[in-house]
Amino acid sequence: MKSYIPKTIAVSIGLLAALAVGILTSCSRKSENTQVAAMLPLTGNLAFLGEPGRIALQIAQKDLRAAGKPLSFGIDDTKASPEETVTLMRKEKDVNGRSIFIVTLSGPSMAARESFAKEDVAILAVAIHPDLPSSNAPIVRFCFSARQEAEMLIQKIVQSKESIGLVLSHDAATTFEAERIIIPALQAAGKKIVFTEWFDVGNKDFHNLTARYNQEKPKELLVLGYGSDFPAALGAIAVTRQTDELKVYGGIGFVEMERPPAGFDKSKFNIAVPAVSIGSGSSAARAFRDKFKAVKGGLPSYDAAFTYDAAMVLGDLAQKGITKPKDIITALRGHSFEGVSGKIEIDESGEAKTDMRWATYGPNGLEESKP
């Protein structure tokens, strides 16, 4: 017997079939998106460093979608803990199937390098620890290095024969930078270090620094660490009222401090910073700063800019079909990229060289100065 299907039913079946194909195609396209897990400190003592990174990834996600680049992000809160970072990454890889990571902060990045050294992952580290990259681990630095900062500081500091005092944070990156690079280089150059005052992150009591500064009266000061600690440290020196001629050297931490305490000559600050932190850069950098300011109400931190760049480069690679962790690491090493943070050159070990400038304090905060 010849079967008969009413026209209306046939049309309905055809629509359902087309819808099914559309759904499957949509799912297929969705699954083609490269999945990236970002490890940021969103709570805890260093949450103020994670929030700018989260905003940067939101901006990157919108820009990538607008450009038709297949990349999406999941964001995990590391609480700035190396152990928590490794646990979260393990879950992302083994449960969620994500093997491409953006990791911020030195402690978490170092832990990720050690724990996933032999695994099929790609780690883009937005962290400054000098000893971070390794040719034996699937990691690439996507940030300036404290080693690059140290070399700039050493070159400028040794030009003077004046005595210097060191005020140094006990965080991992600063400790390595100071003990392994800066102090040996200054000693080798015959620079007189009259005191070295170490402090813990979050310390508010700098009475000992006041006493040592009063006793030694150095002509120069090097201050390194998190900028959130600097007002209290410099304030402890300002109370001596012997700072008019003091020359202060420092690095990225000073970007977090809008202006030095009263009593300091702003023009005597010599600060090594990423170009993006003082408003330098391309039209893309200006556009990113405007987008960030619209969300946050202020300028982006240096690590937010590097986080954005890491995300955008991963998007570029995904558009070219480079989505496997090993292929991503290969594509990054030995190449250079232009981003909102400027030019980033990555060598074969995964170490990065970025656009760094000298800055001092002007009427509106840090501004570029002569080398």
Per the CB < 8 A criterion, the answer to whether 252 and 277 are in contact is: yes
Query: Do residue 163 and residue 258 come from a single domain?
Result: yes
Query: Do residue 222 and residue 363 come from a single domain?
Result: yes
Per the CB < 8 A criterion, the answer to whether 344 and 309 are in contact is: yes
3-state SS class at 367: strand
- Does 17 map to a domain? no
Residue span of the structural domain in which 269 resides:
147-274+358-368
Secondary structure letter of residue 175 according to DSSP: H
Q: What's the confidence (pLDDT) of residue 36?
A: 96
- Does 23 map to a domain? no
Q: What's the confidence (pLDDT) of residue 366?
A: 87
3-state SS class at 201: coil
Domain count for the chain: 2
Radius of gyration of the chain (CA): 25
Query: Do residue 177 and residue 58 come from a single domain?
Result: no
Query: Do residue 117 and residue 250 come from a single domain?
Result: no
Alpha helices for 242-301 (secondary structure H): 283-296
Secondary structure letter of residue 267 according to DSSP: G
CA 91/CA 98 separation, integer angstroms:
9
Query: Do residue 257 and residue 316 come from a single domain?
Result: no
- Does 25 map to a domain? no
SS3 content of the chain, % helix, strand, coil (to 5): 45, 20, 35
- Does 1 map to a domain? no
Residue 197 sits in a domain whose CATH number is 3.40.50.2300
- Does 8 map to a domain? no
Q: What's the confidence (pLDDT) of residue 17?
A: 41
Secondary structure letter of residue 179 according to DSSP: I
- Does 183 map to a domain? yes
Query: Do residue 363 and residue 221 come from a single domain?
Result: yes
Q: Which residue has the tokens 């960030």?
A: 292
| Continuous segment of H or E residues that includes residue 28 | helix 7-32
Per the CB < 8 A criterion, the answer to whether 133 and 351 are in contact is: yes
Query: Do residue 84 and residue 61 come from a single domain?
Result: yes
- Does 191 map to a domain? yes
pLDDT by residue for the chain (371 residues), tens only, comes to 334 344 444 434 443 344 333 333 333 333 356 799 999 999 998 898 899 999 999 999 999 999 998 888 999 999 999 999 999 999 999 999 999 999 999 999 999 999 999 999 999 999 999 999 999 999 999 999 999 999 999 999 999 999 999 999 999 899 999 999 999 999 999 999 999 999 998 888 999 999 999 999 999 999 999 888 999 999 999 999 989 889 999 999 998 888 888 889 888 999 999 988 887 778 888 899 999 999 988 888 899 999 999 999 999 999 999 999 999 999 999 999 999 999 999 999 999 999 999 999 988 888 999 77
- Does 2 map to a domain? no
Query: Do residue 242 and residue 100 come from a single domain?
Result: no
Per the CB < 8 A criterion, the answer to whether 298 and 290 are in contact is: no
Mark 307-316 as b/e (b = at least 16 C-beta within 10 Å).
bbbbbbbbbb
CA distances from 112 to 236, 292, 307, 327, 367 (A): 37, 28, 17, 19, 35
Q: What's the confidence (pLDDT) of residue 32?
A: 52
Query: Do residue 338 and residue 303 come from a single domain?
Result: yes
Query: Do residue 340 and residue 362 come from a single domain?
Result: no
**Start-to-end CA span in the chain (Å):** 93
Per the CB < 8 A criterion, the answer to whether 34 and 314 are in contact is: yes
Query: Do residue 187 and residue 42 come from a single domain?
Result: no
Query: Do residue 269 and residue 343 come from a single domain?
Result: no
Per the DSSP assignment, residues forming a β-bridge with 360 are 367
- Using alpha carbons, select from 298, 249, 289 the residue that is nearest to residue 272: 249
Give a three-class secondary structure readout of 123-160. EEEECCCCCCCCCCCCEEECCCCHHHHHHHHHHHHCCC
